[in-house]
Amino acid sequence: MSYHETVLLKESIDGLDVRAGGIYIDTTFGGGGHSEEILKKIGNGRLIAFDQDEDANANAISDERFTLVNANFRFMKNFLMYHKALPVDGIIADLGISSHQIDNAERGFSLRFDAELDLRMDRKGSKSAQTVLAEYSEEALKKMFFEFGELKQAYKISKAIGQHRKAKEIATLEDLKNAIGQFAERGKENKFYAKVLQALRIEINDEMNALKELLLQSLQVLKPGGKLVVIAYHSLEDRLVKNMMKTGNFEGTITKDFYGNEESPLKMITKQPIVPGIEEIERNKRSRSAKLRIAVKS
């Protein structure tokens, strides 16, 4: 099973600062790239990995120090309590879609295939892209495309979908293109449809709320001095990560103590995000939008 080349592998593992005997969490196991590197460094420590996609089970590592939990990382704290693995020394999250998911036509993540519109990370979930496009009101669709796709024409797109679905179900990518293709700027069609699919994917998988829960739980489970390492791929994710690491809240509101000193449960190590170099982008084009941020628990 082919998974993507791990993005910013050295930089993210260096940022995690893995110590022998520690407990580490890989919240986005995927093909196991990060987990394999962590296991090389933890000695007699423990590594617990999460992935809600059952396809990732095929990559499970046979090692007594390793546990793979087939669940969304939003349930991290509960599973760590169950496995008696608290507190932890480091948490890593690579928020990108795996190449396996993109390259698997039936999952509906890629613009290269006229596949059925699915976009579920967890295929046991009941809500697919088809469901959203068939059942959401035009107002709900507009809100989704504006907030999660950052599409300025969200109102017109949602109206067009509302009209199109009266005559024909929007079941495949081609159906969706027929419904809204008129709004794609010439020469930038792929960028437009990528934003549309991004909005649908975030909505279906409740990605922003799941990320918020992960970040809040990280504050609770990390020991003082523990590292939080996150790779984000679009501005919505990166903004949440940056604000939480800098201020301890999602709004980016700075709080101060009685003496006027800034207070935050985390200290940002990366003043600016670490991004892939030219060589990595040439080798792996899917890395080009990656931003790596690192913080340490105060």
pLDDT score of 286: 85
Question: What is the torsion angle, in degrees rounded to the nearest 10, for the CA atoms of residue 278, residue 279, residue 280 and residue 281?
Answer: 50
Quick one: 144 and 287 in the same domain?
no
Average pLDDT value for the chain: 93
What confidence category does residue 1 fall into, taking pLDDT thresholds of 50, 70 and 90?
very low
Does 1 reside within a domain?
Answer: no
Nearest to 48 by CA among 28, 18, 21, 33: 28
**Same domain assignment for residues 113 and 141:** yes
Residue 2 domain-assigned (yes or no): no
Domain total for the chain? Answer: 2
Same domain, 93 and 214: yes
Residue the block writes with tokens 């020991």: 223
212 lies in the same domain as 293:
yes
Average of pLDDT values for 247-262? 93
Whether 87 is in a domain gets the answer yes
Q: Looking at residues 186-198, what average pLDDT do you find?
A: 94
> Is residue 32 domain-shared with residue 167, that is, in the same domain?
no
Residue 22 within a domain: yes
In this structure, is residue 4 part of a structural domain? no
pTM, whole model, 2 decimals? Answer: 0.93
Task: Tell me if 18 sits within 8 A of 90, measured CB to CB.
Answer: yes
Q: Quick: pLDDT tens for 202-227.
A: 999 999 999 999 999 999 999 999 99
Both 115 and 232 in a single domain? Answer: no
Same-domain pairing of 74 and 212: yes
Check residue 123 and give its pLDDT: 81
Rounded to an integer, the average pLDDT of 231-252 is 97
Spatial CA neighbour of 211 closest among 233, 241, 185: 241
Percentage of residues in the chain having pLDDT higher than 90: 86
218 in the same domain as 291: yes
CATH of the domain at 91: 3.40.50.150
User: pLDDT (tens digit, 9 = 90+) per residue, 22-57?
Assistant: 999 999 999 999 999 999 999 999 999 999 988 889
Query: In 149-255, where does DSSP find H-type helix?
Result: 154-167, 173-180, 189-205, 207-221, 235-247
- What is the residue whose two structure tokens read 């496995």? 83
- Same domain membership, residue 282 and residue 141: no
Q: Tell whether 192 and 213 lie within a shared domain.
A: no
Are residues 69 and 150 both part of a single domain?
A: no
Q: Residue 193 maps to which CATH number?
A: 1.10.150.170
**E strand or H helix at 82, and its extent?**
helix 76-82
Q: Residue 199 to residues 108, 174, 192: CA-CA distances in angstroms? A: 13, 17, 11
Query: In this predicted model, what pLDDT tens digit does every residue of 102-145 receive, in sequence order?
Result: 555 455 556 766 788 999 988 887 799 999 999 999 999 999 99
Domain with 154, as residue range(s), is 106-205
Last residue of a domain, one of 205, 239, 269: 205
Whether 3 maps to a domain, the answer reads: no
Domain finish residue from 205, 229, 249: 205
SS3 of residue 108 by DSSP: coil
Last residue of a domain, one of 205, 226, 249: 205
pLDDT range class, residue 170, cuts 50, 70, 90: very high
Residues 90 and 112 in one domain: no
Assess whether pLDDT exceeds 60 at residue 261.
yes
Complete edge-to-edge strand list for the sheet that includes strand 222-232:
66-69, 46-50, 23-26, 88-94, 222-232, 291-297, 266-268
Q: Which residues contact 35 (CB under 8 A, 6 or more apart)?
A: 26, 29, 47, 49, 61, 66
